[in-house]
Structure 1
Amino acid sequence: MRFNCNGQWLDIELAHLVVAGWTGRDQAAIQHHIDELAAIGVTPPSATPLFYRASSGLLTQSPRIQVVGGDSSGEVEPLVVQAGGRRWLGLGSDHTDRALEAHSVALSKQICAKPCADQLWDWDSVADRLDEIVLESWVHEDGEWVPYQQGSLSAIRPLTDLIASAGLDDLARDGAVAMMCGTFGAKGGVRPAGSFRMAMSDPATGRRISHDYATVTLAEVA
């Protein structure tokens, strides 16, 4: 994959993709979400946070992804990329099949492509203010972009803690690794949309990364 960092293009061949789940700092809010999902048949997590492994080939910068059926949706997340002794912060969407999620969260993470922006920020340039970084997403409904998610990284467990718990340093010895780091609740509830827009902003500098993608629904044949 090619990423742009401060005008320099980086060619990074990913060997590993990790999807971190249940990463919120507010334990009461996590438990509330666990209870909500349990009510629709989703098995509660064995621990929080959890680190799901997915195929590295799922990460894509394409403006269009294909999904089977109409039960998938995106969620904006910080993306940590680590390779060759360097680390960057980027932006991605953990697009997930919600129907399959009721059967297996791990499989639901594996079945969908994971769109990401083609820009990265050098880790050291934001490391001292990660909690201030703002993530937002929108879905395209009834001909307009509707706010879907919004929050700062202060609502997610410290990224350095997630990096250590996931063992990213060990994984990176075997090749480049990327990790999606969790998300925020959806305004109006989790729901599918034909198009998804996401952005990450640094209030201290005004820098912004964004990415839009469309979802093409393939027929679900029984």
Structure 2
Amino acid sequence: MRFTCAESTLDLDFAHCVVAGWTGRNPDAIQHHIDELAAIGVAPPSTVPLYYRVSAGLLTQARSLQFVGENTSGEVEPLVVRAGGKTYLGLASDHTDRELEAHSVALSKQVCAKPCASELWDFEEVADRLDALELRSWIKENGDWVLYQEGTLSAMRPMAELMEGAALEALSGKGPAAMLGGTLGVTSGGVRPASEFRMEMRDPETGRTITHGYSIKTLPAVA
């Protein structure tokens, strides 16, 4: 996969990918997300946070994706990349099969591609203000873009803590490693599928943004 970081180009062949789940810093916010997913049949986690290992090949920069069934949806998340002794910050969507999630969260993470933006930031350049970074996502409903998620990284556990929990540095010793760092609750209307998903990470100090969007084509679930 090819990424840009400032004036540099990075070609990364990921060896590892971890999806960090239930990463909220506020216990009430965690419970809110647990309740959101319980409403669609997902059992509560055994502990928080949890770290789901998924195939590194699921990461993609494609803008048109295909998923089986009509019950998949995206989640805006920070993407931490560790490669070549350096750490980078980017943007990804933990697209998940919600029907399968009710059976197994781990399997639901594995069956869906994880779209990510092609731009990365040097982690050290924003390390002193990570909590202030803003995340937003929108979904296309009835032909209109609707705000789906909104908040800052302060809603999540510190990225350094999550990176340690995911053993990201150790993993990166065997090839480039990526971690999706958790998500925000839905602004209103609950977790739901959509035909298109758009996401953004913004640094309010500089005004810089990383953006990505993708469309979803539903494939028939054949029994």
Aligned residue for 1:135? 135
Task: Give SS of 1:135's match.
Answer: strand
1:14 aligned counterpart, secondary structure: coil
1:196 equivalenced with 2:197 (yes/no): yes
Question: Map of 1:36-115 to 2, 5 A cutoff?
Answer: 36-38=36-38, 40-115=40-115
Distance in 2, Cα, partners of 1:90 & 1:185: 20
Give the Cα separation in 2 of the matches to 1:2 and 1:125: 21
Query: Could you list the runs of 5+ residues in structure 2 that have no partner in the other structure?
Result: none
Amino acid at match of 1:209: I
Structure 1: state its 5+ residue gaps. none
Deviation of the 1:35 alpha carbon: 4.2
- Alignment-derived partner of residue 10 in structure 1: 10
TM-score by length of 1: 0.97
Measure how far apart 1:30 and its partner are. Answer: 1.4
Q: CA deviation at 1:143?
A: 1.2
Letter in 2 for 1:139: I
CA shift in 2, pair 1:121/1:141, >3 Å: same
Residue 108 of structure 2 aligns to a residue whose secondary structure is helix
Residue 184 of structure 2: aligned partner = 184
Residue identity over aligned pairs, in percent, reads 63
- Aligned counterparts of 2:41 and 2:145: Cα–Cα separation in 1: 31
In structure 2, give the amino acid aligned to 1:219. P
Give 1:134's aligned amino acid. E
Query: Distance in 2 between the 1:12 and 1:29 partners?
Result: 34
Deviations 1:46-104 (A, max 9, x none): 11000000000000000011100000000100000001100000000000000000000
Paired positions, count: 222
Alignment CA distance shift 1:36-1:186 (3 Å) = closer
Name the counterpart of 2:214.
213
Q: Distance in 2 between matches of 1:205 and 1:28?
A: 31
Question: Aligned partners of 2:20 and 2:112: how far apart in 1?
Answer: 15
Is residue 166 of structure 1 aligned with residue 166 of structure 2?
A: yes
- 1:32, distance to aligned residue in structure 2 (A): 3.7
Please, which moves more after superposition, 151-160 or 31-40? Answer: 31-40
Q: Calculate the TM-score normalised by the size of structure 2.
A: 0.97
CA spacing shift, 1:145–1:40, aligned 2, 3 Å: closer
Once the 2 structures are TM-superposed, how far is the Cα of residue 191 of structure 1 from its aligned partner? Answer: 0.6
2:41 is paired with a residue whose SS is coil
